[in-house]
Amino acid sequence: MTSPLTPRATDFPRWYQDVITQAELADNGPVRGTMVIRPWGYAIWERMQAELDDRIKAAGADNAYFPIFIPQSYLQREAEHVEGFSPELAVVTYGGGKQLEEPVVVRPTSETVINSFFAKWIQSYRDLPLLINQWANVVRWELRPRLFLRTSEFLWQEGHTAHATEPEAREYALRILRDVYLATMVDVLAVPVLTGHKTARERFAGAIRTWTLEAMMGDGKALQMGTSHELGQNFAKAFAIQFSSEMGSQEYVWQTSWGASTRLVGALIMAHGDDAGLRLPPALAPVQVVVVLVRDEGGAREAATALVDDLRRAGHRVRLDDRVGTSFGRRSVEWELKGVPARVDVGPRDLASGQVTLVRRDVQSKRSVAVGGVVAEVALDLAAAQQALYAEATARQAERTQRVKNLDEVAEVAALGFAVVPWDAVGTAGEAELANGGFSVRCLQAADGSLAGADDEPGLLAVVAKAY
RNA sequence: CGGGGAGUAGCGCAGCGGUAGCGCACCUGCUUUGGGAGCAGGAGGUCGGGGGUUCGAAUCCCCCCUCCCCGACCA
C-alpha cells in the first residue's frame, strides 16, 4: 500500500493538505476561507489553549469576554488601526430585516471594544495594571486562505493590558513574549523560535512596537507564531483611558496587546510532520499513548485494559484502540497519521511470552518490552521523543540559517531558509525590494540574537525569509 | 483585481456527439485479523447553472456561477 500522503519533497503544500485531510484535523467550510475544525484538530487546539491559558493566568491576566460585534465608528478612532484593518473587515449592514443605522463590524481584533471599556473601568492608579485576556473567534476576510494558517475566521487568545508607565507596559509585553509564548513554543510544542521585533512595515496597526516569535517550517519558510505589542498611548488617547496618578494628575495609560491563534496548529504540522503524517510532541499530544488491542484472544483484552489503567495512573493521556474488526495495519497507519507519540501493541503472540510491542512515532522505532516494564519504558520514550523533535527542528533551523553581508546575497539564502543580514544593508527601501521578490523581514534582533529596542539602534540584524 | 487551470458518485479521476464509467470509500454476507485483508453481492448521479445547435449533448457554441494555482495585503 502506498502512502496516503504526497511526500514532502514532492510538493510540500500538497503534503500539508493531505495531512490535514488524512489525520482528520479540519475541512474547508462552505464559505470560502472558513474552516471546520474536526475533533482531532480541536483536541490539539484545546491542549494549546490549556498550556497558554495556564501561563497567561500565571502572568496575572484574567479571562473575560467582549462582543463579536463592534460599532464601525470604534475602529475609526485610531487612524493606523483602521487603515491596517479596513481591507479585511466583514461588515454587517442588515440586522433584524432592516438596514442598520450604523454598520457593525465583525471583530478583526478587539482593541477598540475592550479599550472603550477600559476607559470606563480605569479611574485611578489603584486600578492599574489592568490585565485582561479573552479567548475568541475573529474575522479577517482572506483572499488566499489556507487551513489553519490563514482563514477568514480563526480562533485565538488576545490579551489587553493597561499600565501606569511605559517601562511597565514594555516589561509586561516582554514577559508575555517570554513566559507565555516562548515557553509554550519551546517546552510544549517543541518548536524552536527566533524572537525579535517587527519593522515598521510589519508592525501591528496601531502599535509602537511589535515583538514576534518566528519559527522555521519543514520547507524552510517562516511562520509567525505569536506577537506581543506595545501600544504606547495610541489607544489610550483615542479612547480617553485616563487615570489619576499618585500625584493627582490625569495621565493616559500605557498599553499592550498580544495574541496567538489556531495558526499554531498549522505550525505544528509543518514543523514536525513527516511523510507518514503528523508527529505530536508528547507534552502537547491529546493522546500520548495509544494501546492497540491487536486481537481479542489469549487474554489480550484484559492485558490491554490493565495497561491503559497503569499508564493513566502514571499520569499519561491514554486511549485504548480495541477496534479488532478493523485490520491492524489500518489502525497502525491511522495513529501514525494522527501523530500519537507512543503506541503499545498488545496481542496474544507477544503476550504468550509476557511481552508487548512498543512503537515510537517520531523515529518509527519498534521493540518488545515485558508487560511489567511498559510504564517505565513509555515514560522514557515520551521524554526522548519530546527532546528529539525539538532537536530535529533546531538542527534544521541552524542548517538553513546563514549570515550574509548584503542585499544581493539575501535572496539565495532566503529561498531555502533564513538569511541574517545587517539591517543597515537593507533599510526601508531594501525591505520593499525584498517584498517584490516574495521575501520579508521576519524580525530585527541585536547582533547576538537577543532582543533590541528600536529600528535605528546600531548593529541590528534582520532575519529575512519567505513566510506563510 | 491581472495571468493560468478545473467543475462528472462521499473523495480522486476517465469518458469529449449515440444506454453514465473506473479506483478508493460506503452497505450486506462469508473467510480473515501481528503493518492500509480477500471473495461475492449491493447502494449511490438533475455530468456546476441557464440558453442554443442536433433525430440525439457530459461531449459542440454562447452567457453566468463556483473552485484551485501564480502575482498586490495579512495571526
pLDDT at A95: 85
pLDDT at A30: 74
Cβ contact A299 with chain B strand, < 7 A: no
Distance (Å) from CA A31 to C1' B56? 39
Distance (Å) from CA A393 to C1' B72? 32
Of all nucleotides, the one whose C1′ comes closest to residue A143's CA is B73
Cβ contact A96 with chain B strand, < 7 A: no
Cβ contact A426 with chain B strand, < 7 A: no
Assigned CATH topology for domain A401-465: Translation Initiation Factor IF3 (3.30.110)
Entry pTM: 0.96
pLDDT at A1: 42
Q: Kindly give the interhelix angle for A374-399 and A300-313, rounded to the nearest 10 degrees.
A: 60
Question: HSE of A401 in the Cβ direction (CA atoms, 13 Å)?
Answer: 22
Of all nucleotides, the one whose C1′ comes closest to residue A352's CA is B34
Find out if CATH 3.20.20.140 is the number for domain A12-272. Answer: no
Residues A466/A414, Cβ–Cβ less than 8 Å: yes
pLDDT at A4: 75
Domain ranges of chain A: 12-272, 289-385, 401-465
Of all nucleotides, the one whose C1′ comes closest to residue A22's CA is B11
pLDDT at A86: 84
- For B68, nearest residue by CA–C1' is A144
Which CATH number is A289-385 given? 3.40.50.800
Residues 140-199 of A with CB under 7 A from strand B: 140, 142-146, 149-152, 154, 156
Alpha carbon distance A108, A154 (integer Å): 10
**∠A284-A289-A294 over CA atoms, to 5°?**
150
Q: Which residues of chain A have pLDDT under 70?
A: 1-3
Q: Kindly give the interhelix angle for A263-272 and A12-22, rounded to the nearest 10 degrees.
A: 110
Alpha carbon distance A222, A208 (integer Å): 23
ipTM computed for the complex: 0.83
Same fold, A289-385 and A401-465: no
Cβ contact A14 with chain B strand, < 7 A: no
Identify the residue whose cell numbers are 470604534.
A74
Question: HSE of A280 in the Cβ direction (CA atoms, 13 Å)?
Answer: 30
pLDDT at A365: 96
How far from A50 is each of A15, A57, A126, A184, CA to CA, in Å? Answer: 28, 11, 30, 10
Residues A451/A196, Cβ–Cβ less than 8 Å: yes
| DSSP-based three-state secondary structure for A373 | helix
Nucleotides of B strand lying within 7 Å of any protein CB atom = 1, 32-37, 66-75
Identify the residue whose cell numbers are 501606569.
A164
The closest of A372, A394, A435, A417 to A272, measured between CA atoms, is A394
Cis peptide before A129 (omega within 30 of 0): yes
Distance (Å) from CA A384 to C1' B55? 75
Partners of A146 in the β-ladder: A150
Cβ contact A467 with chain B strand, < 7 A: yes
